[in-house]
Structure 1
Amino acid sequence: MTKIYRIGVEATLDVIGGKWKPIILCHLGNGPLRTGELRRAIPNITQKMLTQQLRELEEDHIIIRKLYKQVPPKVEYYLSDEGKTLRELLVIMSIWGEKRVKRLQAEGQSIELLSKGHEGYLNF
């Protein structure tokens, strides 16, 4: 069966859509991370959701899962070459979000941005 996209953004969202995938990718832009490190970096994600999102990103060849044969087993995730091509998109999304937060703060909304930069995924 042929998969049909009406516009290109559908194909993009098919791979990185949702709340968690872009966040995971931005953290991996800083370098390889283990599952526990990702959980600490993204405290609101459940273990089940993190595992599901990592599997989907791996199936789409956006990230690579590296298993070290040791006891206890060690697993690291890092961006594939294809995943690294998302850098510009993630930077643009981050800049847009930073500007939005500043505007909302200027309007008096109680909102805070903990990380004021996107240096990690500038280094892909």
Structure 2
Amino acid sequence: MKSCLIVDDSKVIRMVAKKILQELQFETLEAEDGHVALELCKRKLPTAVLLDWNMPVMNGMEFMREMRALPGGKDVIVVFCTTENDISHIQEAMEAGADEYIMKPFDSEILQAKFQQVGLIEE
């Protein structure tokens, strides 16, 4: 089964994403910041990461760079999911290794479409 690590400091966002992803047949894990997420990834890499940008302890960009450096970390699909919607943030995330970018708030259709675009689910 495909797995998705949901990394967001908002419990509500994690809950909404978890519900949607489980409906899409993903096993889900949750982390409230990049540091907790990185520790989970060191134990077992997920298939994908749904990643917030602004979090305490370790932000999304820091996490992504650290996770990408892990053995197999370059194979994980990273989808940023954030309120940072200006072109410079999107460009920075994509150049740093993100596979896709979603704006908050999101819904099931948006999440499903982005996961289809990166090949995680079929149409």
Q: TM-score when scaled to structure 2? A: 0.27
Larger RCO: Structure 1 or Structure 2 (Cα < 8 Å, ≥ 6 residues apart)? 1
Relative to total residues, which structure has the larger helix share, 1 or 2?
A: 1
TM score, norm. by length of structure 1: 0.27
Name the structure where strand makes up a greater proportion of residues. Answer: 2
Larger-Rg structure = 1
